[in-house]
Amino acid sequence: MATPSDSSTPRGEAWVWFSGLGLIVGLGMVIGLLSLVFLNGATVFWAPPVPLAQLEDGRALIGQLAQRRIRAGSPADQPKYERQYQVGLRELNGNSYLWVDESRIKAETFPADILGLERVENGPAFVRPQSLRRSDGKVVAIAEPAFEAAFQAEVAAASAVREKLVEITRHRIGEVNAAMDRARVALRRAEDLKLADEIAARKAEIAVLDERYAVLQAEAAKVTAGGAVASLVARDAAGREVVVPLTQVIRAWFPNRLDTWGRVQLYASRLGEFIFDEPREANTEGGLMPAIFGTLVMTVFMSLLVTPFGVITAIYLREYAQQGPLLRIVRISVNNLAGVPSIVFGVFGLGFFVYVLGGSIDQLLFADQLKYNNNTPVFGTGGLLWCSLTLALMTLPVVIVATEEALAAVPRGMREASLATGASKWQTIRDILLPASAPGILTGVILAMARGAGEVAPLMLVGVVKLAPSLPFDGSFPFLHMDRKFMHLGFHVYDLGFQSPDSDAARPMVFATTLLLIVLVVCLNLGAIWIRNRLRARFKGASF
Amino acid sequence: MPSLMTPPSTSRIQVRPAAEREGRKDYISIRDYGFWYGQKKALEGISLDIPERQVVAFIGPSGCGKSTLLRNLNRMNDLVDGIRHEGDITINGRSIYDPGLEVISLRRRVGMVFQKSNPFPKSIFENVVYALRVVGVRDRAQLEEACETSLRKAALWDEVKDRLDDSALGLSGGQMQRLCIARAIANRPEILLMDEPCSALDPIATGKIEELIHELKEQFTIVIVTHSMQQAARVSDRTAFFYLGKQIEYDTTEKIFMNPSQAQTEAYISGRFG
């Protein structure tokens, strides 16, 4: 006769297999997602050789292979493929990307003279250069041995000019414009209040600013006209002549001549631009610096706001509140907050934080600004502060639950020992319970950060924008501008994927941005885990 | 003799005058005391006097209420919901349930050592001076002096004097328990409650703690709960035997162990039940 232990062992076996299967399915999905994002995202900046493809109908194209897929409607046993090439030269072709039936491609060659260009406008270009018109007017033909050196020198010189132009137009003229706006608001106020001295002072200030503006404009004009602009004369695959001014060129490379080291250098240069530069071309090119910065600052602020709120609430619930039915209802409500769709928090944030709180702040502190600046709100519109607060509210239940559990896990003996020495309840909480439960609290903060950093929907309502003119942090007082709108990686993914005018060009950037967002969240979490482990080490050997 | 009303001060580290060594006979006085956890009656009709600067042992089988009574002497049971009591406990003539007496100042006068040693996850030094920290002592020299005095009294000073800043969690079990004693006596309480202080220790550590109890009774009134008859016989001056929440017998230890007046006491001591 089988004893209970005999019969339960094989039955338990089945459960082990079953639960193991669950784990494998879960892990498989995570690994699949991560590898899809990684493979697609990490290869975006790699520069492969670029073919010249001859088509059956006599046409030819030069382009970088972007995708290859089975043609819709082709038989499953004999699939027919089609290829998408990035041909660039949007101003000539109307579109940077071209789909071609694989069967229509007669031949593919890789001529060494194919040149890839990344340009300020109209996307990239793949061309066969003919000659270089240098800034001193001399023309260097492609056949001359001096061509490549001269070309790279001119590209470098042109990008120096372009950077100087950006410095003048964006930063220095931007500063003047900001000062001008402030002066105009002050002038309007002075005129309204009839302050003669003030009016005169402000008018003088505006005159000075006008003068500075004119000087900067002239400087900018001098930079652009400083010498004849070097330009490249090239032909596309169809033989049409293209003239590219080199100030338009951000990066130039010969894709079929590069050795592996050269490709790695190009990859590093593009990756550097992606991380440290600002976006161009409706966000489909350039870098993500503002979005990375915005995500980081917002997440850190959110954590700084949610931690004290959550910890204080949990201390009250666990240590001070009378345990009973009312408290149980409060606790259930708090836990249910975690299940509320995030967009609802966005709507609440917009209605309460932005309009009520922000509106009141504007009424109280920025009344002049509202009155004399066409009712332009300062805090009464979406911004970094409101985004952080909204997400802090959204992640509050996570921190509360984690803190409550951490407090409950502190051994009873430690609490009693403190009280028995004559410590008050608050001293016991501050000196014994909080330090001992700090690792558990940090676990809650880590979960909150992970959720907050990846959240998009509520942010769209309370302050994240497609393109922010300035970072929330800069050199002008008070340095950190909590009222400013900002860019966010999660929103950037949505914007690239679904709002971009050029969806083909945006596609690789979606993957790269997603990968970056994942890396950022992982880094934030690793930072928090590192802090937690240091705290744990302090309590090593404790009986919990 | 400072009364329970004087605010806690740290300058009480001084030798008591010899004239006071006699002490009062009813220093802790328990009268008709009953105690409930919710509906469950844990103690009933307890009446006993504990003389000053003597060691009193509470013995009895598990669940007899001896720990409950001990934990009521410094009102540690206030942490439990739904408790109720009748009768009264006075210390030096003053009720511990006096509404004008703050439970915090009571606990500063009545130190406690627990069954399971429970040092804080802090350094040895911070553990010992915790009671001084909570009353707001900041002066480093004063803290160091108190730390050394307490550790010496707890017979731990020579073992840890070179590593006061190390974590207390790195000590051995016996050292941890002596650290807890040092912590409990650091702010010079008048009474020391010990709830089975040696139950988790080996015989050598137990021996050290028992020696310590002998030395500490020069200055403190000690109430100890123990499951070990030998320990009660070795360390205590008087012994109370409890059974099922009732006080069966309370007398000098010699009398209890040599010539108990109750049959139940004799049966328990000789190991025939319990």
Q: How confident is the model at residue B22 (pLDDT cuts 50, 70, 90)?
A: low
The answer to whether residue B130 neighbours chain A at the CB level (below 8 Å) is yes
Domain-embedded: residue B107: yes
Domain-embedded: residue A66: yes
The answer to whether residue A414 neighbours chain B at the CB level (below 8 Å) is yes
Say whether B167 and A418 touch across the interface (CB within 8 A). Answer: no
Chain B residues whose beta carbon lies within 8 Å of the beta carbon of residue A538:
121, 167
The answer to whether residue B80 neighbours chain A at the CB level (below 8 Å) is no
CATH of the domain at A494: 1.10.3720.10
CA distance B116 to chain A (A): 8
Is a pLDDT exceeding 50 seen at residue B2? Answer: no
- The torsion of the CA quartet A45, A51, A52, A54, rounded to 10 degrees, works out to -130
Residues A378 and A363: their CA atoms lie apart, in Å, by 10
The answer to whether residue B146 neighbours chain A at the CB level (below 8 Å) is no
The answer to whether residue A541 neighbours chain B at the CB level (below 8 Å) is yes
Out of B76, B118, B130, closest to residue A411 by CB: B118
Residues A474 and A441 placed together within one structural domain of the fold:
yes
Mean pLDDT by 10-residue block, N- to C-terminus, for chain A (544 residues)?
51 82 96 94 90 89 90 85 89 86 89 89 88 84 85 86 82 83 84 82 87 86 71 87 87 90 93 88 81 91 94 93 90 90 93 91 80 77 90 94 92 90 91 90 89 89 84 74 87 88 85 91 87 77 42
Cβ–Cβ contacts within 10 Å for residue B200, how many?
Answer: 15
Range of the domain at A343: 289-538
Chain A residues whose beta carbon lies within 8 Å of the beta carbon of residue B187:
421-422
Domain-embedded: residue A15: no
> What residues are paired with A116 via a beta bridge?
A126, A253
Chain A residues whose beta carbon lies within 8 Å of the beta carbon of residue B168:
none
Say whether A421 and B107 touch across the interface (CB within 8 A). Answer: yes
Contact (Cβ atoms closer than 8 angstroms) between residue A465 and residue A412 = no
Domain-embedded: residue A387: yes
Is a pLDDT exceeding 90 seen at residue B147? Answer: yes
Out of B76, B169, B187, closest to residue A540 by CB: B169
Say whether A423 and B130 touch across the interface (CB within 8 A). Answer: yes
User: Percent of chain B beyond pLDDT 90?
Assistant: 34
Domain-embedded: residue A17: no
Residue A250 identity (one-letter amino acid): I
Chain A residues whose beta carbon lies within 8 Å of the beta carbon of residue B135:
422
Out of A416, A421, A542, closest to residue B183 by CB: A421
Chain A residues whose beta carbon lies within 8 Å of the beta carbon of residue B180:
417
Say whether A422 and B8 touch across the interface (CB within 8 A). Answer: yes
- Mean pLDDT score, B93-122: 89
Q: State how many domains chain A has.
A: 3
Out of B104, B114, B167, closest to residue A422 by CB: B104
Chain B residues whose beta carbon lies within 8 Å of the beta carbon of residue A541:
167, 169-170
Residues A263 and A305 placed together within one structural domain of the fold:
no
The answer to whether residue A542 neighbours chain B at the CB level (below 8 Å) is yes
Structure confidence by residue, pLDDT tens digits, A178-222: 888 888 888 888 888 887 888 888 888 888 888 988 888 888 887
Contact (Cβ atoms closer than 8 angstroms) between residue A243 and residue A117 = no
The ipTM assigned to this model is 0.85
Short-list A363, A285, A3, CA closest to A121: A285
Say whether B167 and A540 touch across the interface (CB within 8 A). Answer: yes
CATH of the domain at B124: 3.40.50.300
Contact (Cβ atoms closer than 8 angstroms) between residue B132 and residue B186 = yes
For residue B96, give Cα distances in angstroms to A397, B76, B186.
41, 12, 22
Say whether A414 and B120 touch across the interface (CB within 8 A). Answer: yes
Residues A415 and A499 placed together within one structural domain of the fold:
yes
Contact (Cβ atoms closer than 8 angstroms) between residue A87 and residue A61 = yes
Q: Which two tokens stand for residue A31?
A: 């690994």
* Strand blocks (E) in A225-301: 231-235, 241-245, 249-253, 279-280, 285-286
Search chain B and give the residue with CA nearest A411: B118
Residues A50 and A197 placed together within one structural domain of the fold:
no
Domain-embedded: residue A23: no
Chain B residues whose beta carbon lies within 8 Å of the beta carbon of residue A415:
79
Domain-embedded: residue B211: yes
Say whether A419 and B187 touch across the interface (CB within 8 A). Answer: no
Residues A227 and A245: their CA atoms lie apart, in Å, by 13
Residues A119 and A264 placed together within one structural domain of the fold:
yes
Q: Which two tokens stand for residue A373?
A: 């600046």
pTM to 2 decimals?
0.80
Domain-embedded: residue A340: yes
Chain B residues whose beta carbon lies within 8 Å of the beta carbon of residue A423:
104, 130-131, 134
Say whether A431 and B130 touch across the interface (CB within 8 A). Answer: yes
What is chain B's percent helix, strand, coil content, to nearest 5? 35, 25, 40
Say whether A421 and B184 touch across the interface (CB within 8 A). Answer: yes
Domain-embedded: residue B119: yes
What is the residue-averaged pLDDT of chain B?
Answer: 85
Chain B residues whose beta carbon lies within 8 Å of the beta carbon of residue A427:
134
Residues A123 and A141 placed together within one structural domain of the fold:
no
Domain-embedded: residue A238: no
Distance in Å from the first CA to the final CA of chain B: 40
Search chain B and give the residue with CA nearest A324: B81
> What residues are paired with A129 via a beta bridge?
A234
Range of the domain at B55: 24-269
Domain-embedded: residue B3: no
Domain-embedded: residue B39: yes
The answer to whether residue B76 neighbours chain A at the CB level (below 8 Å) is yes
Residues A23 and A29: their CA atoms lie apart, in Å, by 10
For residue A48, give Cα distances in angstroms to A61, A66, A85.
16, 10, 12
Chain A residues whose beta carbon lies within 8 Å of the beta carbon of residue B6:
none
Residues A116 and A154 placed together within one structural domain of the fold:
no
Out of B107, B118, B170, closest to residue A413 by CB: B118
Residues A505 and A532 placed together within one structural domain of the fold:
yes
DSSP 8-state code for residue A170: I
Sorted by sequence, the CB contacts under 8 Å of residue B101 that are 6+ apart come out as B4, B5, B94, B95
The answer to whether residue A437 neighbours chain B at the CB level (below 8 Å) is no
> What residues are paired with B86 via a beta bridge?
B34
Q: State how many domains chain B has.
A: 1
Domain-embedded: residue A35: no
Domain-embedded: residue B4: no
Residue B7, pLDDT score: 42
Q: Which two tokens stand for residue B139?
A: 């002066």
| 3-state SS class at A134 | coil
- Strand-strand pairing, A97-101 and A81-86: antiparallel
Q: What is the distance of C-alpha A366 from the center of its chain?
A: 31
Say whether B104 and A413 touch across the interface (CB within 8 A). Answer: no
Out of B120, B167, B170, closest to residue A417 by CB: B120
Domain-embedded: residue B11: no
Cβ–Cβ contacts within 10 Å for residue A532, how many?
Answer: 18
Residues B62 and B262: their CA atoms lie apart, in Å, by 19
Short-list A193, A207, A204, A206, CA closest to A368: A193
